Amino acid sequence: MIPLPTGLRARLVITFTLVAVTASVLVATIGFELAKTALVTRAETTSLDLVTRELGRITFPVGKLRPGEAAPSMKELDQVVRTLSSPGRSVLVEYGNLLSADGPMTMKDVPNELYGRAKQNVVTQRKVIGNELWLVVGAEVHRYEPGTGPEATGLRAFVFFPLHDEESQLATLRSTLTQGGTVIVLIALVVALLSARQVLLPVRRLSAAAQALGQGRLDTRLPVHGGDELAELTSRFNDAAAALELSVSELRSLEAMSRRFVADVSHELRTPLTAMTAVADMLSEEANRLPDAPAEAVRLVLREIGRLRELVEHLIEVSRFDAGTATLNVEPVNVADAILDCLEVRGWSDKVDVTASQGLTVNLDPRRFDVIVANLVGNALKHGLPPVEVTARGTENGLEVKVRDHGKGIPTEALPHVFDRFFKAGAGRARSQGSGLGLAIARANVHLHGGTISVRAQQPGTLFTVWLPHQ
C-alpha cells in the first residue's frame, strides 16, 4: 500500500495542482476562439472562391469597349446575379447606372469601407444587418488584355452570405465547452475545498487557541496528531502556552503581593499620620512665635506631612481600584452644585470660573465625581495659570465636563503619559507638590463610570475633557 503524503508542503502541492485544473476554463476559451477563427476563415475562403470563380466566367464585354463591342444589357447583369445567387443569399451587381439585385439588401447595406476597397481587390467584411450576422463579399471585375495588364471595368458585385450556420455551430460549441468546463470546475472546487479544509483545520484550531490565550484562558492546549509541520507547530504552541501560563502565574502572584503590600503599608501609615497631623496642627499655631530658622523647619515639616497624607490617601484609593473593590453609588446629582461645593471645600471658589446650568442633574457617584473635579482643577491650579475654567453641559448621551487653564501647557511629548501613575511632566517637578497619582485616580474614576477622559493642548494652556454616560 502506497503511503499517502502527510507533510504540509505535499498537501499544499496537491491542492494547488487540483486548483490548477480550473485552468481548463482558459483552455476551453482559447479552443473556442480558435474554432471561431477557423469557421470564419473557412466561410470567408469559400465565399471568396465562389465570387471570384463566378465573376471570372463573365464573357460579355465590360469596361472600355473595343470596336464592334456592345455595352452589357440589364439582362446580362441579371444573369450574373442569378449565377451568384443561392437560397439565403442577397446579391447586388452594379455597372454604371445599371443595378441588378436579388434579395432584400440594397446598396445602403454595403459598408462604405468595403465599397471603397472593392475597387482594388476582392474583399470581405462582417456586418450585422437586421440582428443577423452577414459576410459581405465585394469585388470589381477586371478585364485582362494581352500586353496591357488588368483593367478596371466598373462592374462591381456585392454578395451577402448569411452566417447563421456558423453562429449555430459556435453556439453549440460554446454550450458544450461551458458544460464541460463547469463540470471540471465543480469537481476541482469540491476537491480543493476538501483539501483546503484538511490543511486549514489545524490552523483554525491554532487560531482559536491563540484567541483563547489572549482572552486569559492560559490553560488552553491542543492535541498533537501526526508528525508533520503542523504537528510540530502545535507542540511548540503547547510549550509556549505552558511557559506563558507559568510566567503569568508568577507575575500575578507578585502583583498581588505588591498590591497587598501597598495597601497594608498605606493603612499602617494612617495611624502615625493621624498623630503627626495632630502635632502638626499644634506646631502650626506656634510657628509664627518661633525664630525664623525653627519656624521655617516647622513649615517644611507641615508641608511634607501634608504631602505624605495626600500620598497615603491616593495609594489607598489606587489599591482599591487594583483590588477591584471600587464600586459606584449612583444617585441624582446637581452638577453645578457639586462643582461649586467641590471648589468651596478646598478654598478654590475665587480662583475658578464655573459655567454650568443650575438645572443640570445627572445620575452619578457624587464622591467619585468630586474626586474627578478636584484632581483636574487642582492640577490646573498647581501647574497652570489663571483663569482656570470649568464648563459642564449635558449631551445626548451623557455629561461633558471641561477643565482648562491658561498656563504654558504640557509638553507635547508628555501628553500621552499624563494619566500614568507617578508621572510628572518636566525634570524639575520631581519634588513638586502632588503625588503624581491625581490624574491616574481621576481617569480610574471616570472609567468606573464607563466614561472617557482626554487631554489636549490649547493656545495657551491645557484642556481636559471628561465624558460620563447616563447611568
* 232: confidence class by pLDDT, cuts 50, 70, 90: confident
- pTM confidence score: 0.45
Q: Is the pLDDT of residue 37 over 60?
A: yes
Q: Is residue 54 very low, low, confident or very high in pLDDT (cuts 50, 70, 90)?
A: confident
CATH numeric code, 13-170 = 3.30.450
Give just the sign of the alpha carbon dihedral 309, 314, 319, 325: positive
At residue 427, the pLDDT reads 44
Same topology between domain 229-322 and domain 327-469: no
State the average pLDDT over residues 343-349. Answer: 89
User: In 3-state terms, what secondary structure has residue 184?
Assistant: helix
Was domain 229-322 assigned CATH 1.10.287? yes
Q: How far apart are CA 212 and CA 221, in angstroms?
A: 10
The confidence score (pLDDT) of residue 426 equals 55
Beta bridge partners of 149: 145
pLDDT of residue 237: 82
pLDDT band, very low/low/confident/very high, at 429 (cuts 50, 70, 90):
very low
In sequence order, what DSSP letters do the residues of 258-279 get, joined into one string?
HHHHHHHHHHHHHHHHHHHHHH
**Looking at domain 327-469, which CATH architecture does it have?**
2-Layer Sandwich (3.30)
pLDDT tens, residue by residue, 252-302: 776 666 666 556 665 666 667 667 767 666 666 666 666 777 777 777 777
Find out whether 367 and 332 touch, Cβ atoms under 8 Å: no
**Domain spans in the chain, listed from the N-terminal domain onward:** 13-170, 229-322, 327-469
Q: Does the pLDDT of residue 131 top 70, yes or no? A: yes
- Strand positions, DSSP E, 304-435: 331-334, 352-356, 361-364, 388-394, 398-404
- What is the predicted pLDDT for the residue at 452? 92
pLDDT higher for 203 or 106?
106
